[in-house]
Structures are given as C-alpha cells and as structure tokens.
Amino acid sequence: DVSVKIPLGALTAITGVSGSGKTSLVHHAVVPFVREKLTRSASEGERLHDLESGPMKRSPSLALRASAESDFIARLVEVTQSPLGRTPASNPATYSGVWDEVCKLFAQMRDSKLRGFRASRFKFNSPSGRCEACRGRGVQRVRLQLLPDVFVTCPTCRGDRFNAATLQVRFHGLTAADVLRQRMDEAWEVFANVPRVAGVLKTFREVGLGYLRLGQSATTLSGGEAQRVKLATELSRESSASTLFVLDEPTTGLHPVDVERLLSLLRRLVSAGHTVVVIEHHLDVIAHADWLIDLGPDGGSRGGQIVAEGSPADVTARGIGHTAQVLGERWRSVVDGSHLFG
C-alpha cells in the first residue's frame, strides 16, 4: 500500500522516472478519491473539509491519505493543454466569460436602448445581431476539390461578425467588432472603469496574456496558451471556492519563458488559497514547488513506491532518489555560478 499526504493550499509536484507510478497515483487515486468525496459531500449538502484515508475504488491496493492543513476543497479542476473549444467561434473573451459582461455593457448604451437592443444581440451568434452571410463567424468556408477547405474573411461584414445595425452601437467610440479585435491589454485601458470587465482583463495582462486578442479564435492558440487562458480564467473568478487543480506534465512543449509564466500562474493560484498538484519532470517547476512526492525507485515493477517526500530543500538534503540527485546538482551549479560571478 502507498499512503501519501498532499498539503492543501500548496503546490505539490509528483515526480519520478517514467513508469514510476505518477499517473496511477494522480489519475487513479487522488482524482477519483477527491471526486467521490465531492460528489458525496455535495449530495449531503456540505463541502469537503477533510481528506481522510480510504481505499481507492479503481486501484484498491493504493490507499490515499491526504490531510487538510489550511483549508478545505470544494471543487476539482483538471487543466490540460487541449483547445478552449472545437470551433473557431470560441475565443478567450467567450471562454473567460468577459464577453458576457461586455455584451451587457453594450446593451446599456443609449443607442441600444433607443433601438431596443438587448445584451444577447452582441453575442455574435445571435440571429438578430450577427452578420447573416457568415452567421457571425466572420469567415466563410470555401470548399475546394481534393484540397482541405479554406476559410476566407466574410466579404459582407469584412470579419466584423455583426450586422450593420448592431455596429451602430459604440462604447468609447468602439463597436463590438472593434473590441473583439483589441488586445487584452488595450481593452483593459478602455474598460478601466468597468470593474467586472477590467478585473478579468487585468488578470490576463498580469499573467502575460495581454497580447491575446479578445476575439482570437481558439483554434489559433497553442496548447500552452490555452492552458494559461484556462488558469487565468480560474484566477479571475473573484469568489471562487477553494479548488484542487490537477495538471499532468503542463510544461510539455513549452518555451522556457512560458514555463516561467505557467509557474507564476500556479503560484498565484496557491496564494489565492487553492491547491495545485502537478505531475512534472521540469526542474524549475519541481524546485519551486512547496512539496514533492518522488515515486520510484525506477519504472515498471521497480516503481510504485514513495522514494522521498517533503519540501524540495528537505528532499535534496536527504539525497535519496533521482529527483534529489538532479535537484542537488542543479543547486550546486547555481551556487558555483554565484561564486564565479559574485
């Protein structure tokens, strides 16, 4: 039996060589355990206060014990690099919910009230407000023989997505189409006096996503960007309940700068009182975690045991296991470097 302790309100990295049992621990033990607890506590009308020990349904040999140290968990969110949506119509503004707020704002404009326009008119898929030629997509599909379809800018609305009547309403001189073309950081200045909108845009800006356009098609975002949009959306929820975030190798394919951005997002979620569990091999993430659970000692039949657990400093100091060794080497090189240059 394996028993683990995952501190709440902290960033925990599950480490270990390939096949050491990281996936089993997280996806077959921690996630089902918490999900079952949440389902049960929801049906009993109360939140989950303590994670107790208990046998796992799907992997009965693995007993999980998690202790509540700082707070309770009320939600479970698994965050992946998968796209925000399957269609080009999904974008950061719709995903984060900020577009709903922008729509309400446009409906409050004098020109909307005079014409009887409601918020739904500005949701670019509403039949009353959208460009009918492209059904609010801003692009039209061109079918080619023997070749994949291509999308061209809609000649009727020139990519505006809305019909002419809808575009007569402006906020600070901008139409809804203009706002969708703005970058998050530009829009943040325009909506500075509208807290419900500015708050979300500010978060995106702070986590290094200020360059994204509000209406940027979800299909053009990289996996790393999609992942950060999801995390920034979570971070921007003002009164969100204490959440357990689970990420499986979130740094896969990321540029070093994006690893840094991801890490600072994870740290902010923890600062906001949430709990983050990552399966990770990236040393920067491991070194900045609050708690490590190193599995091993090797892969396959030689895996499935906890080799070391504790803070990165403690795990390194004890020197047991692969992760302790690579962390130790990394820190020695940092210290040597500072002697060299300091």
- Residues of this chain that interact with Zn ion (CB under 5 A) are 131, 133-134, 154, 156-157
Residue placing its CB nearer to Zn ion in the complex, 23 or 156? 156
Q: How far apart are CA 35 and CA 95, in angstroms?
A: 24
Residue placing its CB nearer to Zn ion in the complex, 155 or 337? 155
Residue type, 9: G
Residue placing its CB nearer to Zn ion in the complex, 133 or 165? 133
Q: How far apart are CA 286 and CA 190, in angstroms?
A: 39
Q: Which long-range contacts (CB under 8 A, 24 or more apart) does 24-27 make?
A: 24/59, 24/62, 24/304, 25/62, 25/293, 25/295, 26/246, 26/248, 26/277, 26/279, 27/248
C-beta of residue 296 within 8 angstroms of C-beta of residue 253: no
Q: Locate 59 and state its tokens.
A: 């992997």
| CB of residue 315 to Zn ion, shortest distance in Å | 57
Residue placing its CB nearer to Zn ion in the complex, 122 or 291? 122
| CB of residue 133 to Zn ion, shortest distance in Å | 5
Q: How far apart are CA 302 and CA 295, in angstroms?
A: 10
- Give the bridge partners for 14, in sequence order: 279, 293
Residue placing its CB nearer to Zn ion in the complex, 11 or 157? 157
| CB of residue 130 to Zn ion, shortest distance in Å | 8
| CB of residue 288 to Zn ion, shortest distance in Å | 46
Phi, psi of 334 (to 5 degrees): -65, -45
| CB of residue 321 to Zn ion, shortest distance in Å | 59
